[in-house]
Amino acid sequence: MSEHTPAGSSQTPANKTTAVHKKKSNVGVNIMIAFFSLVLLAGIGVLCYPTFADWWNRMHQSRAVATYVESTENLSKEKKAAMLEQAHQYNQDLLNVSDRWHLTDDQLATYNNTLDVTGTGIMGYVSIPKIKVQLPVYHGTSETVMQIAIGHLTGSSLPVGGENTHAVASGHTGLPSARLLTGLDQLEVGDNFYVTVLDEQHWYQVSEINVVLPTEMSKLDIENGKDYMTLVTCTPYGVNSHRLLVRGHAIPAPQTVDETKYDNPKTMMAITIAAIALVFILLVLLVVWLIRRRAKARARLTGVKYRKDNES
């Protein structure tokens, strides 16, 4: 007596088992592809993070500088003169403070309200042509500030120049997310840098480079009749046990304009948008590829099922 496939059934048990196995196999392959794709993307993300984070921070730094410049241009001459006079008076009063590294609450309030042009704490920006760095200078050296820019050391003179002043600006070196003062160790005696406050530029020529312990403050003292500015960062790279002090003395501004190509916010924004768009396109292409591969796998499974049905 011959056996027949039951009415309403299109596959034998053996065919069903084969189809199920193929379906499970395709699902497993798709899961593995998706998993390794995610791992690949995560790996690329980890490798690209320092570069992207630095780029992102540099873009915001350049925008902060551009915003500062625009804000100062919108101030009247009288307002700018009054702000500069207040800053010079602050520096004069600082000479009479017994412990200027530990200001009182009232002194801190006066400090934070002086030269705060944009209301964000930016008092100006430092430009270092040799290493092509231009960074906003914020009031104070809180970690929030130090992660994105450089901070003016509270207790030092405000960077408006003049006799009996010593302004100090500090920034990190070697952060994975921001370049900041990485490269400051390339400066040599005789190199120049300058600070822009309101519409004034104060130029300094490196005259002394020192490596000291974090607790050594004597190199930051105000000297009678001198106009100094010191840039501070951690050293050695990756250890950060000491501080690199690059001190400059005031010099007349050069007759030629600084033509160094610093970061431009518009250019950096355009490149950032293009990079994000490229990543988005790659992700879309990956998804499309996975969908098409899955569709082909289903088509193959359907073809096998069709042939098995005809054979049965």
Confidence band, pLDDT 50/70/90 cuts, at residue 88: very high
Q: Select which of 152, 166, 202, 234 is catalytic.
A: 234
What domains does the chain contain, in order, with CATH numbers?
Answer: 75-263 (2.40.260.10)
Question: And the tokens for 112?
Answer: 């934070």
Q: What is the pLDDT of residue 1?
A: 47
Q: What is the pLDDT of residue 213?
A: 97
Q: Name the residue with higher pLDDT: 76 or 179.
A: 76
Average pLDDT value for residue range 226-240:
94
Q: Select which of 152, 166, 172, 202 is catalytic.
A: 172
Residue 288 scores a pLDDT above 90: no
| Cβ–Cβ under 8 Å, residues 198 and 161 | no
Look up the pTM and report it. 0.72
Least confident of 33-37, 96-100, 224-228: 33-37
Instruction: Answer whether the bond into residue 254 is a cis peptide, omega within 30°.
Output: no
CA distance 152 to 159: 9
CA distance 226 to 164: 5
Q: What is the pLDDT of residue 22?
A: 55
Using CB atoms within 10 A of its CB, is residue 137 exposed (0-12), middle (13-18) or buried (19+)? Answer: buried
CA distance 239 to 241: 6
CA distances from 39 to 34, 52, 90 (A): 9, 19, 56
Active-site residue, 172 included = yes
Least confident of 9-13, 81-85, 277-281: 9-13
Average pLDDT value for residue range 141-151:
93
Q: What is the pLDDT of residue 2?
A: 47
Active-site residue, 234 included = yes
Least confident of 22-36, 90-104, 223-237: 22-36
Which residues are 232's β-sheet partners?
A: 170, 245
Question: And the tokens for 10?
Answer: 């299109």
Confidence band, pLDDT 50/70/90 cuts, at residue 204: very high
